[in-house]
Amino acid sequence: MAKKEKNNCIPRHVAIVMDGNGRWAKARFMPRLFGHKKGVESVRKVIKYCSDAGVECLTLFAFSSENWKRPEDEVSGLMSLFMGVLEKETVGMLRHNVRLQFIGDRSAFSAQLQAKIALVEQETAQCSGLKLIVAANYGGRWDILQAVRTMAGQVQCGELKPDELTEAHIGKALSTQELPEPDLFIRTGGEQRISNFLLWQLAYAELFFSEKLWPEFDEKCLQQAFDAYAGRERRFGMTGEQVKA
């Protein structure tokens, strides 16, 4: 097999499924929430590293549409954790020029959490560095469904004709709107699945699975993922020769 052309660029958009907090805590005979709290330290490390490396967007899967099925104390603990993180970290985000945006159905959150999310989005709206997208009460199928509803409305009111619909219309109607599609998808915790994350947007992402549990994932692990990405040949359906040309 011909040697692969190296793709030395840093990914523009990195999307991460932060898995393994519960198992990390269990191994220490601690409650699952202890693992989520420890996971916030990895979140901080990864944000700083991506920001310094010049990554444009970082999307973190913090809470899936399916996570409501978890024990009540874990769900309420996670909600308090999100609130606490937003309260404590806004100053740091502003200092590092990080813009925060949430994607997902936020209407299911408490009015207090919804207001806090809106406030931090507004406070960091002028930041021009890393775009940090937190997927909370997010599901890839939910995202496609809400996009379809938006487009159906546009068709119904005569703004668009069905045969004028393009992939670009779908892209804009998704919650990620104008963001570039993820180049690199990382999942920690040893599982190898997408779990209803950015289903449409991940079409051409390079996939990287790490055995590390999320609280153990640090700068070195992220660099390993970037190195693996740099060694991949992204063909987007073309032949290797066409890509080189």
Active-site positions? 19, 67
CB 3 within 8 A of CB 230: no
Among positions 93, 134, 151, 221, the unique one binding ligand FPP when judged by CB under 6 A = 134
Which is nearer to ligand FPP, 34 or 229 (by Cβ)?
A: 34
Please tell me the count of residues contacting ligand FPP according to CB under 6 A. 20
Positions at the binding site = 19-24, 32, 36, 64-66, 68, 70, 187, 193-195, 206
Contact between 206 and ligand FPP (CB under 6 A)?
A: no
Q: How far is the CB of 235 from ligand FPP (least distance, A)?
A: 32
Identified binder of ligand FPP from the candidate list 16, 173, 189, 229, rule CB under 6 A: 189
Q: Is 116 in the site for ligand FPP (CB under 6 A)?
A: no
Computed from CA positions of residues 190, 237, 135, 55, in that sequence, does the dihedral angle turn out positive or negative?
positive
Interface pick for ligand FPP out of 11, 39, 104, 139 (rule CB under 6 A) = 39
**Binding site residue list for Mg(2+):** 19, 206
C-beta of residue 183 within 8 angstroms of C-beta of residue 11: yes
Is residue 58 near ligand FPP by the rule CB under 6 A?
no
Helix (H) or strand (E) holding 141: helix 140-156
Tell me the C-alpha distance between 137 and 102, whole Å.
10
22 touching ligand FPP, by CB under 6 A: yes
Cβ atoms < 10 Å from Cβ of 175: 19
- Asked whether position 33 contacts ligand FPP by CB under 6 A, the answer is no
d(CA 182, CA 218): 20
Q: What's the CA gap between 78 and 86, in Å, rounded?
A: 12
Least separation, in Å, of the C-beta of 226 and ligand FPP? 20
Query: 208: helix, coil or strand?
Result: strand
According to the binding rule CB under 6 A, does residue 62 interact with ligand FPP?
yes
Distance CA 146, CA 142 (A): 6
Binding of residue 179 to ligand FPP (CB under 6 A): no
Q: Which residue's entry shows tokens 């040697």?
A: 3
| 143 near ligand FPP, rule: CB under 6 A | no
Please identify, among the stretches 19-27, 49-57, 105-113, 145-153, the one whose residues bind ligand FPP according to the rule CB under 6 A. Answer: 19-27
CB atoms under 10 Å from CB of 44, counted, come to 13
Q: Does 67 bind ligand FPP (CB under 6 A)?
A: yes
The least CB distance from residue 77 to ligand FPP, in Å, is: 10
Asked if residue 7 lies in contact with residue 230, where contact means CB atoms within 8 angstroms, the answer is yes
- 7 three-class SS: coil
- Taking phi over 0 as left and psi of -120 to 50 as alpha, with beta for the rest, 207 belongs to beta
Question: Judged by CB under 6 A, does residue 186 bind ligand FPP?
Answer: no
Give the interface with ligand FPP as residue ranges (CB under 6 A): 18-23, 32, 36, 39-40, 43, 60, 62-63, 67, 81-82, 85, 134, 189
